[in-house]
Amino acid sequence: MRKLRWHRNRVFRKKPGFFGFRNPVFSPKPGFLGCLGLVLILLLAGCGGKSPTPADVFPGADAVPGWAPAGDAATFNRDTIFDLVDGQADAFFVYGFEQVAVRKYQNAQGAGLSVEVWQLATPADAYGLFTSGIAGTPVAIGNDGDGDPGWRIIFWKNRYYVQVYTRQELADADLQGLARAVAAALPAGGERPGLVSRLPAEGLVERGFIFFHEEISIQSEVWLGGENILGLSPQTNGLLARYDLGGTPARLLLIEYPDTVPASAGQAASAGLTALNGSGVSGLVTANASGTLLGAVFGEVEEGTASALLAKALGGS
C-alpha cells in the first residue's frame, strides 16, 4: 500500500529525504516626444516592466490536453493566508511571503489536481522555500525542480515558488505539462544564493540542505532553543546541510550576517558563537566564527572530523 505523508496540508507519497546610460544632448523635433513616449511604453511592456501576479500565470483550458480549470483562481495575501494554511503561515512569512494564488484543474474523467503559485519578496526567498519542500527526485522545470512522479511537482523561478499536486495518482506527463505551462509564463531570473557555494562537496547528502533566514525554518531538524540566540532576522542567510562523514550522519549549520556594516556583522557572528557555545544545545560538536560567518556542526561525529568540515566551509572569508 502506498505510504503517504502530510506536507503543509498536502498529501504526498513518502520518499527518503531531508529531513545606466547617459543620453546625448539633442533638440527634439515636433512630435518626437510623443513618439518617444510610445516607444518607451512598448519597450516596458515587452521587457516585462511589471511582474505578473500569481493569478496571471495559470494556463487556460487545454494548455495541457484534456485538462481545464475547475473554477476561478483564489488569491490569498498576508491577511488572508490563514484561510489556506491555518497555523502554518509563519513558515511562509519568514520567506518574504507576499501572496499566493491557487487554482484547481479537472479532466474529463473527473480527476483533479491543484496548482499553487507563491510570490515571495526575492528570488532567494523562493529558492529557500523550494529547498524546504524537497522530498523526491530532480525535475528539469524552472530554475530547480523536484518531483514525486504522478503525485506532485515543485519548482522555483525568479521570486516565485510553484506546487502542482494531486491526491490521486495521475500520469506524470499531466503534472509536468501544467508545471511547464506555469513556468513558461513566469519571468526568467533568479540565482542560488552565494552562501550555497560554501558547502563542502565531500560527504554532502545530495540535495540535502535548507536555505533559510530565521530559526523557525530549521526547528524540526536542529533545535536551538526557540529563543533566537543567534540573532537571526530576515536579513540573515543560513544553510542547514546534511552530511555523511564516513558513515556517521552530521549536520552543518552556516549563518551569514548582513554585511551592510561589516564591523557589525562580524560582531554579530562573534556574539552568536558565544551564545551558541554557552547554550547547552543538544548535539553540538563544534562551532566557530570567521568574519561575517558563523558555523557549527551537530551530530555524533568525532570533533576532529567536524572541525575539518567546518574549516572548509568557513575558509576564505
Each residue's pLDDT tens digit, 263-315 = 687 899 999 999 999 999 999 999 999 999 999 999 999 999 999 999 999 99
Length of the chain: 317
Tell me the three cell numbers of residue 270.
Answer: 562573534
59 contact partners, CB below 8 Å, separation of at least 6: 178, 181, 182, 185
pLDDT at 12: 34
d(CA 225, CA 96): 23
Mean per-residue pLDDT, 71-91: 95
CB 175 within 8 A of CB 166: yes
The yes-or-no verdict on residue 26 having pLDDT over 80 is no
More confident residue, 183 or 42: 183
pLDDT at 99: 98
Q: Using CB atoms within 10 A of its CB, is residue 313 exposed (0-12), middle (13-18) or buried (19+)?
A: buried
The sign of the dihedral angle between the CA atoms of 191, 194, 196, 201 is positive
The yes-or-no verdict on residue 39 having pLDDT over 60 is no
Mean per-residue pLDDT, 68-96: 95
The yes-or-no verdict on residue 149 having pLDDT over 60 is yes
Give the model's confidence band at 118: pLDDT under 50 very low, under 70 low, under 90 confident, else very high.
very high
pLDDT at 162: 98
Mean per-residue pLDDT, 145-165: 97
Give the model's confidence band at 1: pLDDT under 50 very low, under 70 low, under 90 confident, else very high.
very low
State the DSSP H helix or E strand holding residue 101, giving kind and residue range, or none if neither.
Answer: strand 97-107
Give the model's confidence band at 226: pLDDT under 50 very low, under 70 low, under 90 confident, else very high.
very high
Residue 239, beta-bridge partner list? 211, 254
pLDDT at 261: 59
Residue range 242-260, pLDDT digits in tens? 999 999 999 999 999 998 7
pLDDT at 49: 56
d(CA 225, CA 52): 40
Can you give the residue ranges of every domain in the chain?
A: 4-8+52-185, 194-314
Residue range 64-74, pLDDT digits in tens? 999 999 999 99
Give the model's confidence band at 6: pLDDT under 50 very low, under 70 low, under 90 confident, else very high.
very low
CB 242 within 8 A of CB 19: yes
Residues of the chain above pLDDT 90, percent: 79
Mean per-residue pLDDT, 144-149: 96
Q: Cα-atom radius of gyration of the chain, to the nearest Å?
A: 23
Tell me the three cell numbers of residue 263.
Answer: 564591523
In this structure, the dihedral spanned by the alpha carbons of residues 202, 219, 226 and 126, taken in order and rounded to 10 degrees, is 90
d(CA 163, CA 184): 15
pLDDT at 86: 84
Give the model's confidence band at 28: pLDDT under 50 very low, under 70 low, under 90 confident, else very high.
very low
CB 256 within 8 A of CB 292: yes
